[in-house]
Structure 1
């Protein structure tokens, strides 16, 4: 399959307006997460800084943490209002967002930490040695190291029932495991390179994956059979995020573009790039479709954060 064509009615229907460009990080921005209160979001960077931003007052970022090594992964525990920071080559730092201070930390790895997910009282940490580490949040203790690959574990997604966790690897596979007994459920093969992007649809029985091969693959979550493949970008797909209603999703890429997609028929609806919308000048590493005001937030190697209003 080739690139989907943009039809005139889609081009006229979707309006894009760049609301803000936020600066302050001194290195590539790799991590992005929405807060317990979705008015706030958090970014982590190669400069070791983790910053809180307010969508109502976006120009004033607030430094939450400054670590000696780069931060690739952050995650907010919305139930406990804790921010988990993956500190490369060290472990996990935990910030109480009510008090804005570090409350505990755990040395768990000497590897890069690529993703963090929370299910109930369990924290899942994906690292560069292909290990999935499980931590008990309430006990603040290590539960298990699970060696799943000889290559990096790059990205994770949790299904809607919070029973399964999908993990994308640099060995080109996606492994589905049970979130409670950690046993393997399914092995998905189809990508020809590292998997960087994963998300379960909020409304369809679909898992979407993307990666260095620039393709999006769609998997039926009842059978985990692949249902579609779309060559979506010119270079690696770094991340994807669904709109809250599940009808649309966005992808971001090393090709410096953000693309808006119809989630039901997998059609490309809009390209947001530098030429048309004063987009990022280098690789876009993460995107987030805000549940607060439905804006799109993107972070890039160009050290900036962009906030976009997209009228669909």
Structure 2
């Protein structure tokens, strides 16, 4: 069998400190990155160059999220705020102030105008994306709520906590449903498969759990990395998903049977990240994977499914 083809398309340089977040823009060739710097950076994947500082920030950026059906970028920061900025005009539109501790994740719905923020304070807050008024807030855990995932049919919202718990809520009214199979250490990543069949959870225990969404029973568990699994993301069209880790590697897996397809790391001969890989995003402009790291670099990868040799 031919291997999945991976080639580095380029490295984007300019950040002076570790990068924690990356997000696609509304224009296909645009991405945004943020981290322990003084601004959110906009890059052009066509020219592979820096475009501009979209907006300044007063504290570290932990998460970036394009609000569904809008040109608005939500920026979650260490000071507990979320800044809403127009991604084209760079106009600041709102500052969501509620949490007293860092905001670690932000997600929005396709079917209703609501934005979810999760925080180190153990709570989540729900905001209206048209008025940016606070709608609800409630406690999920005693410590950090690190990550959020919304099911493909938008029936469920799942939260991952520092205690290693995975908590399932009804997305309609935010009522608690149940605790799902958990991790022995903090949950750091959550992702639903595009076909809606699976929920994947990753943790600081270096484990990846695969749950059936029909009942949320455990389908499979394995160890994809040596250290924390910081992100899980499915390719938009190929039967592939990627994971990134504190072990400095990017790994590509078959979404059909969870086989390991490729390892992208310096040790495997790639001109890759030399420190923790903190986040990634699949970009549809040229079907590329974009990864960000503690090494202050944004790396862009071409990923291609091999043609049949028959």
Listed one character per residue, the Cα deviations across residues 64-122 of structure 1 (whole Å, up to 9, x for unaligned) are 11111100011001412101111222411111123221112121122111000011311
Name structure 2 gaps, 5 residues minimum.
306-310
Cα RMSD over matched residues? 1.3
CA contact (8 A) 1:89 1:111 kept: yes
* Cα distance in 2 for residues equivalent to 1:204 and 1:144: 27
Q: Alignment partner of 1:166: what SS?
A: strand
* Cα distance in 1 for residues equivalent to 2:211 and 2:243: 17
* Deviates most, 212-221 or 158-167: 158-167
* Pick aligned residue for 1:45 from 11, 35, 60: 35
Deviation of the 1:204 alpha carbon: 4.5
- Cα 1:134–1:197 shift into 2, 3 Å: same
Q: Does 1:265 align with 2:257?
A: yes
* Pick aligned residue for 1:157 from 145, 149, 158: 149
Q: Alignment partner of 2:127: what SS?
A: strand
CA contact (8 A) 1:29 1:43 kept: yes
Q: Does 1:173 align with 2:195?
A: no
Deviation of the 1:180 alpha carbon: 2.4
| Alignment match, 2:46 | 56
- Cα 1:234–1:90 shift into 2, 3 Å: closer
* Cα distance in 2 for residues equivalent to 1:84 and 1:278: 32
- Cα 1:135–1:190 shift into 2, 3 Å: same
Deviation of the 1:222 alpha carbon: 1.1
* Cα distance in 2 for residues equivalent to 1:156 and 1:231: 21
* Cα distance in 2 for residues equivalent to 1:249 and 1:56: 24
| Alignment match, 2:308 | none
Q: Does 1:195 align with 2:187?
A: yes
Aligned length: 302
Q: Alignment partner of 1:282: what SS?
A: coil
| Alignment match, 1:3 | none
Q: Alignment partner of 1:114: what SS?
A: strand
Q: Does 1:210 align with 2:202?
A: yes
* Pick aligned residue for 1:304 from 271, 294, 297: 297
Name structure 1 gaps, 5 residues minimum.
1-8
| Alignment match, 2:77 | 87
Q: Does 1:14 align with 2:4?
A: yes
| Alignment match, 1:5 | none
Deviation of the 1:172 alpha carbon: 0.4
| Alignment match, 1:122 | 114
Deviation of the 1:292 alpha carbon: 2.4
* Cα distance in 1 for residues equivalent to 2:127 and 2:175: 16
* Cα distance in 1 for residues equivalent to 2:105 and 2:270: 30
